[in-house]
Structures are given as C-alpha cells and as structure tokens.
Structure 1
Amino acid sequence: MAIGSGLGAQLGIAAESTYGTYVAPTKFVEFTKEGLQLKKTTAQSAGIAAGRLLPLSSRRVVTQREASGSIDMEVTNKAMGVLLQSLMGTSVTPVQQATTAAYLQTHLLADIAGKSLTIQKGVPLTTGVVTKKNFVGCKVISAEFSCEVGGMLTASFEIDAKDCEETSVLATATYPAMSPYHFGQMAVKTGAYASETARDGVRKVSIKIERPQSVDRFYANSSALKKEPITNDQVKITGSIEMDYVDTVLDDLHTSDAATSLLWEFKGANIASTFDERITFALPAIRIDDAPPTVEGFDVVKPTINFTGLYDGSNQPKIEYMSTDITL
C-alpha cells in the first residue's frame, strides 16, 4: 500500500504512436505539483412538461470531453527526453559520444505534429489505495524554465489532452538515480552565435516556449472527443534575465535593438572523457524588449532584461541534453 497522501503519488509518461491511443508508461518523472484534470461539457434537456419543477437527471448528456493541466518539476540529469521532444518537435535519437556512456539529445525547434504522450498519474486515497487516471493524447502547449540564485532549475509544462480514462492498469513506478540541475551549475553567455562569452552579474534566467495549437477540433463522428491539435500560429519564445548592473552590454542592446545569441547552460557531473551531464538552451537571436536600468534606492541597481527569441535566418533554437539515457 502507498502512503495515503501526495507522498504516494506517481507520474508516468510514454510517447504515443497514434494520437490518443493509450501506451503504458515507460518513464517515471519526479514532480513537485500537477494539475491534470478531465474537463467535460454537458447539456441539459429542459423541455416543458406539466408540473415538472426540475430538469430530468436522465436527460443530461456529455457533449464534449477533453483534459488539460500543468506539471511542475525540477529539471534532472535523466528522464527528461520525452517531454523535451514533445515541446520542441524534432524526432530525437540519443547519439552515443565516442564509446562512452554519454548520449547527446539535440532537440531542434520543429512542428509538433505526431508528438503526443500518454501521461498516467496515480493519486492516493487516504487509505493508501492509489487511483489511476490515464491522460491520452497529451500535447505540450508551453513550457517555462527558470533558475535563480540559490535555487534549482525548474520547469512547468502546460498540457492539453484528448481524454482521461481510468481502465488501464496502474504501472509500477521505477526511478533511476537522478540529480537536479541548480544555480551552482549555471552559465549564461551572449554574443555571436557559437562564439558567445560569459555574462557577469546574472542572478536569474527564465525562458518560456509557447507552441500555439488549435485545441478545439471537435467534429461529428468523433464520440465527443477532439482530433489532434494542429499548430495554428508561430512559436513564441520570451524570457527575462535579472542581474546586477555590472556592465552595459545588455543595456546597449536594448538601446540599439541589435540581436545577440543567448546560451543558457547547466553542467553536472562528468560522465566520461570530456562529456559532462548538461542541459543547454540555445537561442541564436534574441532582442531586448525593455527594462533599461532604473535607480530605486540605495541598493545595487538590479535591472530585469525582458527579451524575445527570434529566428536568425540560419539556426533554429534548440535544447541539448547530455545524459546516460540510451533512449528517450
């Protein structure tokens, strides 16, 4: 029996081969909070009948079913590949580095058609019995990554799902030994693409990637369930850099509205040879939108630089993930 509280909860994930078709979870991620839930649209028949003061319970119908919610977690050195692929869109096979135990995943920005997940959550009753809810046809709508002084690298994934069912078997959760990425491992660089230099004074970085999709594709002959969402707008990448005002490099970019490349990286333990555990966010072109420095008192000036990620015409934004994961 599990512990009858959130301590006994679990979250399993698997990539689907067909949108909305259940696949037993193969990866179990550690999470800090989740909000996945079924949403149903109902209609109530309200025909007039002499002397009837309430609508008939038997004439309430469910006309649409879908699900949505969020998953918050710390970003770890293992088991992140399936979520990153669903966010970025490229079909990724980890590439072994030389003959070592290090495998590199390169998640380039691409269309996310066909990238859906089954997400199974186990929710404990107070008795310790774990109930199961299987969310199928899960699409990542957005993800925000953030890390600040003294903190962990965290991620929040927004999910849209086709349906929630409770018949498939609750999978047995297994967790590999994992470590979180944190501020002590963080590096921030800007400059010419592939030749970025380290920035001093950075205290916090956040990057949000939004994948707009038509999530309302409800049609006849579909048993009240939606078709796979389709990309219906350009990708939106935004973020912020909180820093002490140690130099004018980013401030000058705000003034000139010139582009720069942003490299945000976390390096963990060495796997083998020159290959370290790492996650790298590479935005080949960002433009500074606002937040020139202002003096608000006696303390050190601390501007927050807000930026937009754009396409430089040659290089796509990407997330690189080096781990010992042989598969996603």
Structure 2
Amino acid sequence: MAIGSGLGAQMGIAAESSYGTFLAPTKFIEFTKESLALKKTTAQSAGIAAGRLLPLSSRRVVTRKEVTGSFDMEVSNKGMGVLLQSLMGTTVTPVQQAATTAYLQTHTLASVAGKSLMIQKGVPLTTGTVTDKSFIGCKITSGEFACGVGEMLTGSFEVDGKDCDESQTLAVASYSNMSPFHFGQMALKTGTYGAETALDGIRKVSCKIERPQDVERFYANQASLKKEPIENDQVKITGSLETDYVATTLDDLHTSDGATSLVWEFIGANIASTYFETFRITLPAIKLDEGPPTVDGFGVVKPTFNFTGLYDGTNLPKIEYMSTDVTL
C-alpha cells in the first residue's frame, strides 16, 4: 500500500502509436504539481411535466468529454525525451556520441501532427489505495522552462487530451537515478548564429514555446470525444531575461530592434570523454519587445527584457538533450 497522500502519487507517460490509444507507461515523471482532469459538458432536459419541481436525473446527459490541465516538473538529466518530442514535433532517435554511453537528442521545431501521449497518474486515497486515471490522446500545447539564481531548471507543460480511462491497471512506477539541471550549470549566449558568446549579468531566464491547435474537433459519430487537434496558428516563442545592467548589449538590441541568436544551456556532469549531460535551447533569432533600464532607487539597476523568438530564414529553433538514454 502507498502512503495515503501526495507522497504516494505517481505519473507515467508513453508516446501513443495512434491518437487516443492506450499504451502502458514507459517513463515515470518526478513531477512537483499537476492539474490534469476530465472535463465533461452536460445538458439537462428542460421539458415541462405537470407537478415536477426538479429536473429528472435520467434526463441529464454528457454531450462531450475532454481532458485539460498541466503539470510542473524539474528538468532532469534523464527521461525527458518523450516530452521534448511531443512539444517540438521532430521524431528523434538518440545518436550515440563516438563509442561512449552519451546519446544526443536534437529536437528541431516541426509539426506536432501524430505526436500524442498517454499520461497515467496515480492518485492515492487516504487508505493508501492508489486510483488510476489514464489520460489518452494528450497533446502538449505549450512548454515553459525557467531558471533563476539559486533555482533548479523547471518545466511546465499544458495539456489537451481526448478522454480519461479509469479501467486500466496502474503501472508499477520505477525511477532512474536522475539529477536536476540547475542555476550553477546555466549559461546564456547571444550573437551570430553558431558563434554566440557568453552574456554577463543574467540572473533569470524563461522561455515558453506554444503550439496552438484546434482542440474543438467534436463531430458526430465520435461518441462525445474529439478527433486529434490540428495546428491552427504559427508557433509562438516568448521569454524573459532578468539582468543586472552590466552592459548595453541587450539595451542596444532593444533600441535598434535588431535580431540576435540566443543559446540557453545547462552543462551537467561528464558522461564520458568530452560529452556532458546537456540541456540546450537554441533560438536562431530573437527580438526584444520591452525592458529598457529604468532607475527606481539606490540599488543596482535590474532591467528585465522580454523577447520573441522568430525565424531567421534558415535555421529553426531546437532543443538539444544529451543523456545516457539510449531511447526516448
């Protein structure tokens, strides 16, 4: 029996072979918070019947079902591949580095058609019995990463899903010995794509990647469930750079509305040879929207620059992830 509180909760994921088809979890996430839940739409009969003072329970029907919510986690040195693939869209096979145990995943921005997840969560009763909620047809509609002074790198993922299946067997959770990426490993670089250099004064960085999709594909013959969402807008990439005002690099870019390539990376422990645990976001072109420095007291000036990620005409945004994971 598990502990009858959040201490006994679990979450497992698997990449679906087809939208809305249950697969047993292949990875288990060490999450910090989640809000995934079945959302139902009901209709109640308003028919008039002489002397009836309350609507009949038998005349209430469920007309549609879907899953909404999000989950937060610390970005770790293992087990992130399936989530990154679902967010970015590219079908990725980890590439072995030389003859070492290091494997590189390169998640380049692409269509997310066909990229859906099964997310199974276990929610403990106070008795210690853990109830199963298997969410099928889950599409990641956005992913936001953030890290600041003294913090771990965190990820927050918003989810749209097809249905909740509570008839499955709850998988037995197993966890690798994972370590989180953190501020002590963080670097931020800007400049010409492929030749970016370190930028001083960075205190906190956030980056959000949104994948807009039509999540209202409810049709007849679908038993109140939706068909796979379809992308219906361009990708939106936004973020912020919290700084101390140690140089005018970002300020000048804001003034000129010039573009720069941005590399935000975390380099962890050595895996083998010259290969290290890595989490890296590369945005070939960003422009700064707001955040020129202002003085509001005696302290160090600390502007926050908000940015938008754009296409440079040649290179696409990507997330690189190096770990010991042989498969996603």
Query: What secondary structure sits across from 1:83 in the alignment?
Result: helix
Q: Which runs of 5+ in 1 are unaligned?
A: none
Instruction: Tell me which residue corresponds to 1:58.
Output: 58
Instruction: Tell me which residue corresponds to 2:253.
Output: 253
Aligned AA (1:279)? F
In angstroms, what is the RMSD of aligned CA positions? 0.4
Aligned AA (2:264)? W
State yes or no: 1:33 paired with 2:43: no
Query: What secondary structure sits across from 2:86 in the alignment?
Result: helix
Identity across aligned pairs (percent)? 76
TM-score (norm 2): 1.00
Q: Which runs of 5+ in 2 are unaligned?
A: none
Instruction: Tell me which residue corresponds to 2:169.
Output: 169
Aligned AA (1:199)? L
Q: Deviations over 1:17-41 (max 9, x none)?
A: 1100101001001000000000000
CA distance in 2, matches of 1:87, 1:49: 52
Matches within 5 A, 1:136-147: 136-147=136-147
CA distance in 1, matches of 2:305, 2:61: 50
Instruction: Tell me which residue corresponds to 1:42.
Output: 42
Instruction: Tell me which residue corresponds to 1:195.
Output: 195
Instruction: Tell me which residue corresponds to 2:232.
Output: 232
CA distance in 2, matches of 1:200, 1:146: 18
Instruction: Tell me which residue corresponds to 1:208.
Output: 208
CA distance in 2, matches of 1:12, 1:182: 23
Q: Deviations over 1:230-260 (max 9, x none)?
A: 0000000000000000000010000000100
CA distance in 2, matches of 1:131, 1:265: 38
Aligned AA (2:327)? T
Query: What secondary structure sits across from 2:58 in the alignment?
Result: helix
**Which 4+ residue blocks in structure 1 deviate beyond 3 angstroms?**
none
CA distance in 1, matches of 2:178, 2:260: 34
Aligned AA (1:227)? K
Aligned AA (1:134)? S
Aligned AA (1:275)? Y
Residue 212 of structure 1 deviates from its aligned partner by: 0.2
Query: What secondary structure sits across from 2:146 in the alignment?
Result: strand
State yes or no: 1:115 paired with 2:115: yes
Instruction: Tell me which residue corresponds to 1:287.
Output: 287
CA distance in 1, matches of 2:323, 2:316: 22
Q: Deviations over 1:194-217 (max 9, x none)?
A: 100000010000000000000000
Residue 118 of structure 1 deviates from its aligned partner by: 0.1
Aligned AA (2:11)? L
State yes or no: 1:326 paired with 2:326: yes
CA distance in 2, matches of 1:99, 1:68: 43
Residue 46 of structure 1 deviates from its aligned partner by: 1.5
TM-score (norm 1): 1.00
Query: What secondary structure sits across from 1:58 in the alignment?
Result: helix
CA distance in 2, matches of 1:26, 1:308: 35
CA distance in 2, matches of 1:295, 1:187: 26
State yes or no: 1:93 paired with 2:90: no
Matches within 5 A, 1:9-20: 9-20=9-20
Residue 165 of structure 1 deviates from its aligned partner by: 1.1
Aligned AA (1:67)? V
The size of the alignment, in residue pairs, is 328
Query: What secondary structure sits across from 2:31 in the alignment?
Result: coil
Aligned AA (1:213)? Q
Q: Deviations over 1:76-126 (max 9, x none)?
A: 000000000000000000000011000000000000000000000000000
CA distance in 2, matches of 1:216, 1:165: 20
CA distance in 2, matches of 1:50, 1:73: 56
